[in-house]
Amino acid sequence: MMFVTLSAGGESLQLSAGSHRYPFTFNLPSNVPSSFEGEVGYVRYTAEAVMERPWKFNHVTRSAFTVISIVDLNMEPAEYKVNFFS
Protein backbone atom coordinates (compact mmCIF):
# COMPACT_ATOMS: atom_id res chain seq x y z
CA MET A 1 0.00 0.00 0.00
CA MET A 2 1.36 3.40 -0.97
CA PHE A 3 0.32 6.81 0.27
CA VAL A 4 1.00 10.13 -1.42
CA THR A 5 0.54 13.36 0.52
CA LEU A 6 0.12 16.71 -1.19
CA SER A 7 0.23 19.86 0.89
CA ALA A 8 0.22 23.60 0.43
CA GLY A 9 3.59 24.09 2.12
CA GLY A 10 2.10 23.92 5.61
CA GLU A 11 -0.03 27.01 5.02
CA SER A 12 -3.80 27.19 5.33
CA LEU A 13 -5.52 27.24 1.97
CA GLN A 14 -9.09 28.46 1.59
CA LEU A 15 -10.84 27.21 -1.54
CA SER A 16 -13.64 29.11 -3.21
CA ALA A 17 -16.85 27.27 -4.07
CA GLY A 18 -16.76 25.26 -7.28
CA SER A 19 -14.65 22.58 -8.92
CA HIS A 20 -10.91 22.39 -8.42
CA ARG A 21 -8.44 20.20 -10.30
CA TYR A 22 -4.97 19.26 -9.17
CA PRO A 23 -3.21 17.36 -11.95
CA PHE A 24 -0.46 15.02 -10.80
CA THR A 25 1.51 12.02 -12.00
CA PHE A 26 2.72 8.98 -10.14
CA ASN A 27 5.03 6.30 -11.53
CA LEU A 28 4.10 2.77 -10.55
CA PRO A 29 6.90 0.25 -10.05
CA SER A 30 7.65 -1.63 -13.29
CA ASN A 31 6.94 -5.02 -11.70
CA VAL A 32 3.33 -4.47 -10.52
CA PRO A 33 0.94 -7.15 -11.76
CA SER A 34 -1.78 -6.35 -14.26
CA SER A 35 -5.31 -5.76 -13.05
CA PHE A 36 -7.20 -9.06 -12.84
CA GLU A 37 -10.67 -10.32 -11.88
CA GLY A 38 -11.20 -14.05 -11.43
CA GLU A 39 -13.14 -16.69 -9.51
CA VAL A 40 -10.43 -17.16 -6.89
CA GLY A 41 -9.12 -13.62 -6.52
CA TYR A 42 -8.47 -10.23 -7.98
CA VAL A 43 -5.87 -7.50 -8.35
CA ARG A 44 -7.40 -4.03 -8.28
CA TYR A 45 -5.89 -0.57 -8.18
CA THR A 46 -7.41 2.63 -6.84
CA ALA A 47 -6.24 6.17 -6.20
CA GLU A 48 -7.56 8.01 -3.17
CA ALA A 49 -7.60 11.73 -2.41
CA VAL A 50 -8.46 13.13 1.03
CA MET A 51 -9.32 16.75 1.71
CA GLU A 52 -8.82 17.38 5.40
CA ARG A 53 -11.25 19.92 6.81
CA PRO A 54 -10.82 21.23 10.35
CA TRP A 55 -13.86 20.69 12.55
CA LYS A 56 -15.64 18.78 9.78
CA PHE A 57 -15.53 15.31 8.31
CA ASN A 58 -12.80 14.83 5.73
CA HIS A 59 -13.89 14.63 2.11
CA VAL A 60 -12.63 11.39 0.51
CA THR A 61 -12.83 10.41 -3.15
CA ARG A 62 -11.57 7.25 -4.85
CA SER A 63 -11.07 6.33 -8.48
CA ALA A 64 -10.33 2.86 -9.85
CA PHE A 65 -7.90 2.40 -12.72
CA THR A 66 -6.63 -0.51 -14.79
CA VAL A 67 -2.99 -1.55 -15.01
CA ILE A 68 -1.80 -3.50 -18.05
CA SER A 69 1.76 -4.70 -17.55
CA ILE A 70 4.03 -5.58 -20.42
CA VAL A 71 4.92 -9.28 -20.15
CA ASP A 72 7.61 -11.00 -22.18
CA LEU A 73 6.20 -14.52 -22.54
CA ASN A 74 9.60 -15.75 -23.71
CA MET A 75 10.86 -15.16 -20.17
CA GLU A 76 8.22 -17.42 -18.54
CA PRO A 77 9.47 -20.72 -17.05
CA ALA A 78 9.02 -23.81 -19.25
CA GLU A 79 6.52 -25.43 -16.85
CA TYR A 80 4.06 -22.61 -17.62
CA LYS A 81 4.23 -23.11 -21.38
CA VAL A 82 1.62 -25.19 -23.19
CA ASN A 83 2.60 -27.43 -26.09
CA PHE A 84 -0.32 -27.56 -28.48
CA PHE A 85 1.33 -29.96 -30.94
CA SER A 86 2.20 -32.97 -28.76
Give the tens place of pLDDT for each residue, 57-84.
988 989 999 999 887 767 767 666 667 7
Give CA–CA dist 4/47, Å, rounded: 10
| Dihedral sign computed on CA atoms, order 27, 2, 33, 36 | negative
Q: What is the chain's mean pLDDT, rounded?
A: 78
Q: How far is CA 5 from CA 25, 50, 54, 81, in A?
A: 13, 9, 17, 43
Residue 6 has pLDDT above 60, yes or no: no
Work out the percent of the chain whose per-residue pLDDT is above 70. Answer: 69
Give domain limits for the chain.
36-73
